[in-house]
Amino acid sequence: MGSVILASTLYSTTLLIASTLLPQMQGTMAATADEIAWAVTFNILATAVVTPMTGWLVGRFGRRGVMMGSMLGFTIATFFCGAADSLASLVFWRIAQGGLGAPVVPLSNAILLDSFPRRQVGMVTSIFGMAVVIGPVIGPTLGGFLAQEYSWRYAFYMLVPVGLAGFAALRAILPPDRQAARIRLDWTGFLTFAVAISCVQLVLSRGQRLDWYDSTEIVAETTIAAVAIVMFVAHSTTAEKPFLDLKMLTDPNYALGLVLVTCYGMLNFTPVVLLPSLLQQYAGFPDQIIGEILGARGIGATIGFFLAMFAGRVDPRVGMTIGFSLQIVSGLWLMSLDLNVDMTTLALNSVLQGIAVGIFWVPLTIATFPTLESRLMPEGMALFHLMRNIGSSLFISVCVAEIVRAQGANYSRMTEQISVYNRVLSLPWAMGAWTVDTPSGLAQLSKEINRQAAMIGYDNAFGFYTATSAVAILAILMAKKRQRKAAA
């Protein structure tokens, strides 16, 4: 159990670590902001494409073989990410890192669910959930510190010895696989699915940068994605042995679980991505303090998962409702903040977010898989985690787009009031320390208006966060608690 959880923690740590390192990597590689972003974009693409292959890989090479191969390949790719001396090599090894490590999390989850009796599922899922949630918090915090003190390369190097230790533990502990079956890969289903997911991820990652559908690239990628999705569904519903068995979606609990884990993904990493830019650029927080604020989320997640261990016998809908309700409280709290917020308030809010995530994850897993056939577990778990990642990408892109839109619109609206014809500006108690009589005074006032306009955009994004939590509670009421079917 420990070796499997270590592997998942290590992989999840890299999900957001590159976002912290982008400025330094950009300088080292002499790349533009658009070029260095490929180091993140292509890693996400590789993860999205390979994750659904987990079921086929297990059938072909066995669980032990896939876990050990993924762990070793991921560790090697991580080392070469740190050693990359050009943008092309960095992007290549980031693709290898995402693709080779993609099966680790869904397969770890499936191994744990099948290795323990049902009465211990709540406890095991709680411990595993800590790895999935806390890893992305540890990564940017520790990686940012190492990058600041030494170099961005050490943020990757620090993972290598842990990865080798994880590989050795898996090799010693995982039982040997039975004779691997010669399973044929459904190439038509795989290729259409890979093209669809790749194009969707490209649209989400590059849409805001390219002004969405004013860009020919985004229009082309959307069209290709739509055609590929139609081809994939048509093929999967008629093929004898499809790449992904869509019959899984006929299980109502599993289908609803995919909807809820998408909502979970939409909410889980959004504050982790949005808060650093808000606090650094507009509130003047140093990087170390931002890292501590994000670290408080890990403390909350630990508390939440600990509480979830004792809630395993309760109806899963209760735990999920409590989790999303805490997300609503957290979102409303964030919407009430301004740029004068203090560290303690932000840390407490971060703890609340972590508690909500911890409480929600365990009942979500319990409610999603009890009626899914055991033979479909690796495939179903892979799709489950894929939807979590897609939900994160989608919601973060929507929130960033809204921040940019609201900031521009509100800046224009507020600067309209800065005019020599506005008699209010001549009143000393209205302007305070601001002045419009000198160019430097106007520049300072413009900067302040831009800060406040950005804050409105972030408030709108936190409003989306709150609304999504509220809508998800309505979906939870549709879940039913059943026992798992016997394997076919």
- The secondary structure of 235-296 as a DSSP string is HHTT-SS-SS-GGGGGSHHHHHHHHHHHHHHHHHSHHHHHHHHHHHHTS---HHHHHHHHHH
Predicted confidence (pLDDT) per residue in 89-101, tens digit: 988 998 899 888 8
pLDDT digits (tens, 9 = 90+) for 110-157: 777 666 666 666 666 666 766 666 666 666 677 767 777 788 888 888
Q: Both tokens of residue 393?
A: 């990408």
Pairs from 410-419 (Cβ < 8 Å, separation ≥ 24): 410/452, 410/453, 410/456, 410/457, 411/449, 411/450, 411/453, 414/449, 414/452, 414/453, 415/446, 415/449, 418/442, 418/445, 418/449
pLDDT value, residue 487: 40
**Mean pLDDT on 268-272:** 79
Question: Which residue is associated with the tokens 């606090």?
Answer: 279
Task: With residue 313 as reference, give the H or E element that holds it.
Answer: none
| Range list of H helices, 269-376 | 270-281, 287-309, 316-335, 343-368
Whether pLDDT at 20 is above 70 = no
Which helix (H) or strand (E) segment is 457 a member of?
helix 439-476
List Cα–Cα distances, 25 to 20, 156, 210, 350, 437, in angstroms: 10, 12, 22, 28, 42
pLDDT score for 228:
92
Q: What pLDDT sits at residue 484?
A: 43
Distance CA 372, CA 253 (A): 8
Q: Is the dihedral of CA 40, 46, 49, 52 positive or negative?
A: negative
Length of the chain: 488
The answer to whether the beta carbons of residues 209 and 158 sit under 8 Å apart is no
Classified as helix, coil or strand, 67 is: helix
pLDDT in tens, 358-377: 888 878 877 887 777 777 77
Among residues of the chain, what percentage have pLDDT more than 90?
A: 11
24-63 residues labelled b (16+ CB within 10 A) or e (exposed): bbbebbebeeeebbbbbbbbbbbbbbbbbbbbbbbbbbbb
Residue 474 pLDDT exceeds 90: no
The pTM of the full predicted model, rounded to 2 decimals, is 0.76
Distance CA 44, CA 41 (A): 5
Q: Which H, E and C letters describe 390-413, residue by residue?
A: HHHHHHHHHHHHHHHHHHHHHHHH
Q: Give the three-class secondary structure for 372.
A: coil
Q: How many CB atoms are located within 10 Å of the residue 399 CB?
A: 23
Structure tokens at 90: 């960095």
